[in-house]
Amino acid sequence: MNEENGTCKESKAVGKEKKQIAEPGPPKSERGRLVMDRRRFLSLSVSAAALVAASGGSWRFLAGTAHGGLDSKTVQGATRVVPTVCGLCTNKCGALARVVDGVVVKLDGNPRHPKSRGKLCARGQAGLQLLYDPNRLKVPLIRAGARGSGQWKRASWQEALDYTAERLLQIKERYGPQGVLFSSTEEFQERFFLDLAEAFGSPNTIRHPTQCLVANNVAFFHTYGTVPLPDLANSCLILMAGANRAEAIITPDTLDLFENLHYRSKFIYLDPRYTVTASKADIWIPIKPGTDLAFVLAMIHVIVKENLYDRAFVEQCTHGFDKLVEHIEPYTPEWAARECEVPAVQIVEIARMFASAAPRAIFYYGRRSSFDRNQTAFRRALAIVNAIVGNWDSPGGLLPPQSVSLGFTLIPPFPDIEAPRIDGLPESYPLNNTQDGVYSRARENVLKGEPYPVKGWMVYKQNPLHGMPDRAKTQKMIDQMEFLCVIDVLPSDTAWQADVILPEATYLEREDPLHTESSIRPHVVYRQQAVEPLYESRPNFWIMKELAGRLGLGSYFDYDLKTYIENQMMTLSEEARQALREYGVWTREGYPKYGEHRAKGRFRTPTGKIEIYSTRFEQQGKDPLPVYQPLPKPPLGQFRLLMGRNAYFTHAALQNNRWLLHLYPENRLWIHPEEARRLGIRDGTTVEVVSPVGRGTLKAYVTEAIRRDCVYMDHGFGHTSPALEAACGRGVSDQTLIADAADEVTGGVSYHETFVEVRAAA
């Protein structure tokens, strides 16, 4: 050990010493914490009471000083490593929380997790800032002034839950249980919210798929009998349309794509916008928005006409190929070239490349499929083009998804629900999953009050004002509610409108039920509690149980979470259980597997085969084969508005995270330089965007990276809740501008069908 190293160690220790900041905040010991918390909140409620008396209660309860935790952390001291699962987006990457003296100091990826493989993206790493966000919901709040005025009364849990149950029962009495809408977004404790809805007797559960992936799911499900997963890691040719994997991260797809880049695979990417993914592709095709379906139909045309398809597989495992041959006759590359503004020779070449690389070729379909009226047909075409080249259950192709079956907890059978759903499912959209609902139809009917009034709304982990197009309409929907209760971790725009806000504990403060994610490597994750819930936040299970008790539905929650989890574990081997407790994840060995399913040749469809020609679609009066509808053109001088996202935020959820906001403080309007010049817009100056349903101002980003006929903005900005002190007022919400449009097969929102005018603002 030479002297220099000795100095180095010494000085590092001393240097670190200097870095300790003695800031006020909860003391380090965990035991002391709870006492301190209570004392703190006693003092808070005293001052709160005074404030209530004075002002009727202001939103300042939602604001607050930073929790002493982060800034006063040191890396010395006893470290506990707690396996958890990142909760900042839908990927559920395994993470390891390093906890020192009751403070989470760092989140690392869990190397054993088959999807994330030891990595965490910027959001995952910034999870600390969610836990310690000064604007977090800390205490239950009851509205004390007009809706949206920001006047709150700080309530105890007892009060808030009593009040909520009372209002819900009132609505049940007057309008029936169907008078309450239960909308939620997926997470490990969402199950309990949906159970409460069913126990309550309301058929009206709405989740997010119709704002995102419903077209994808419906199209693939009715083709393959399941929604397959791509084996990108082993693929030699990857075609991607609009799935911006570099900025809309999906694990392991994003990791597989980049690992493979310039190595095994050729990567061809279609997008009207030059995204980061486009910059990594071997070929970027600046396709005209809304015409992806034409491109794929032409590809199918070439593959069929030139006999490049997998004849044996098609004959053995598919149904309806002969009808396909007839159907794609008019969809020639020349025709597609005119629609897509892509040269016909390129379409032909790509079709040939794709077919010759098959079965190690994938036309990747991603997740979000909420673009335009063609979306379901487009996804069906993707399902078909993958099927006919025979990449099913083959290395580098599409694989049947695998999950692990977990044990369950017996609860009493739910009551029969007589009332029809407010969105008319299943009749209105028979191809959809009923429980997910159709948001746009539901909203429409709620506003009309038909077939019955819906006056209560329970929202769990959702922000409809930011998720649904035509924000003004969503606001009307809120306004006509008699009771709105939001369960969340941050004071979102929707929470700001609520009658009752209930603070949920974040993922780092909870132990959650086991979860198995549909994957090509079946695995189970076990999220363990890293720290005790801060402030007065509680896990959703507790909230649901308490509410259920007050609603007379206690028998449905007559268990505790520990038991629930134990029951889940019962179907797993001891080895698996050990792995879950110690590492937070257990993966079944021997995957991905290839060929087993293909050999059997049986699919969960009416014909038992891959339905190129969908009998179910036909049955329901929809096109059994994908039919192309050209989109209307924007009027002269207007642009098609495109929206999307970047790698730093999850939709509208994380803009208040200061570490992430620092990377990307606001959204801008992407506009081509020629168009900008024509309109007198310079880069960085403010522009006004006007659509048929709203308007907004934001800065312009003049860039060559977008076509002349469209403009683009990131989703998720334009928060109006003043309690989100970092995010409020930054940028504009795309949903203020986007008009309500949906595809008629699934009712899924079409976010890219709105035309806007752009003007330079003063």
Partner 1 sequence: MKQGQGRFKRYAMVVEVKKCFNCKGCVVACRAENNVPLPISRNWIEESGIRGRYPFLGQTFEPAACNHCERPPCERVCPTGATYRTSEGIVMVDNRKCIGCKYCIQACPYQARSVNRRDKVIEKCTFCIHRLEEGRIPACVETCMGGARHFGDVNNPDSEVARLLAHKDSYVKKSEAGTRPAFYYVF
Ordered DSSP codes for 676-690: HHHHT--TTSEEEEE
75 binds partner 1 (CB under 8 A): yes
8 binds partner 1 (CB under 8 A): yes
Q: Which of residues 244-263 bind partner 1 (CB under 8 A)?
A: 246-247, 249, 254-255, 258-259, 261-262
Stretch that binds partner 1, among 18-26, 230-238, 300-308, 525-533 (CB under 8 A): 18-26
Question: Residues 444, 449, 454, CA angle at the centre, nearest 5°?
Answer: 95
Q: Which of residues 271-300 bind partner 1 (CB under 8 A)?
A: 274, 276-280, 284, 286
Smaller CB distance to partner 1: residue 344 or 417? 344
- Our CA dihedral for 308, 311, 317, 320, rounded to 10 degrees, sits at 70
Work out how close the CB of 735 gets to partner 1 at its nearest, in angstroms, rounded to a whole number: 25
345 binds partner 1 (CB under 8 A): no
CB 562 within 8 A of CB 508: no
233 binds partner 1 (CB under 8 A): no
Give 517: exposed, middle or buried? Use CB within 10 Å, 0-12, 13-18, 19+: buried
40 binds partner 1 (CB under 8 A): no
First CA to last CA distance, the chain: 66
Binds partner 1 (CB under 8 A): choice among 663, 678, 682, 759: 663
Smaller CB distance to partner 1: residue 259 or 623? 259
- Give the position of tokens 């990567």: 267
Binding flags for partner 1, 621-660, as an x/- string (CB under 8 A): --------------------------xx---------xxx
Q: Quote the DSSP letter at residue 118.
A: T
Work out how close the CB of 691 gets to partner 1 at its nearest, in angstroms, rounded to a whole number: 24
CB 124 within 8 A of CB 86: yes
Work out how close the CB of 573 gets to partner 1 at its nearest, in angstroms, rounded to a whole number: 30
- For the chain, helix, strand, coil in percent to 5 are 35, 15, 45
Write out the H or E segment, with its range, that includes residue 319.
strand 318-319
73 binds partner 1 (CB under 8 A): yes
CA 436/CA 183 separation, integer angstroms: 9
CB 733 within 8 A of CB 466: yes
CA 721/CA 429 separation, integer angstroms: 35
Ordered DSSP codes for 626-669: ----PPPPPPTT-EEEEEE--TT--TTSSTT-HHHHHH----EE
Smaller CB distance to partner 1: residue 257 or 485? 257
- State phi, psi for 94 to the nearest 5 degrees: -65, 135
578 binds partner 1 (CB under 8 A): no
CA 253/CA 362 separation, integer angstroms: 12
Q: Which of residues 687-706 bind partner 1 (CB under 8 A)?
A: 703-706
Give 643: exposed, middle or buried? Use CB within 10 Å, 0-12, 13-18, 19+: buried
Smaller CB distance to partner 1: residue 108 or 666? 108
Work out how close the CB of 128 gets to partner 1 at its nearest, in angstroms, rounded to a whole number: 6
Work out how close the CB of 183 gets to partner 1 at its nearest, in angstroms, rounded to a whole number: 30
Q: Which of residues 416-445 bind partner 1 (CB under 8 A)?
A: none
Work out how close the CB of 91 gets to partner 1 at its nearest, in angstroms, rounded to a whole number: 11
CA 746/CA 379 separation, integer angstroms: 12
- Torsion sign over Cα 326, 328, 332, 333: negative
Work out how close the CB of 582 gets to partner 1 at its nearest, in angstroms, rounded to a whole number: 19
Binding flags for partner 1, 668-687, as an x/- string (CB under 8 A): ----x---------------
Work out how close the CB of 185 gets to partner 1 at its nearest, in angstroms, rounded to a whole number: 23
CB 411 within 8 A of CB 182: no
Give 165's contacts (C-beta < 8 A, 6+ positions apart). Answer: 547, 550, 551
Smaller CB distance to partner 1: residue 259 or 511? 259
Q: Which of residues 91-150 bind partner 1 (CB under 8 A)?
A: 105-109, 118-126, 128
| Count of residues near partner 1 by CB under 8 A | 62
Smaller CB distance to partner 1: residue 96 or 454? 96
722 binds partner 1 (CB under 8 A): no
Work out how close the CB of 297 gets to partner 1 at its nearest, in angstroms, rounded to a whole number: 22
Q: Which residues bind partner 1 (CB under 8 A)?
A: 2, 4-5, 7-9, 11-12, 14-15, 18-19, 21, 71, 73, 75, 105-109, 118-126, 128, 246-247, 249, 254-255, 258-259, 261-262, 274, 276-280, 284, 286, 647-648, 658-660, 662-663, 672, 703-708
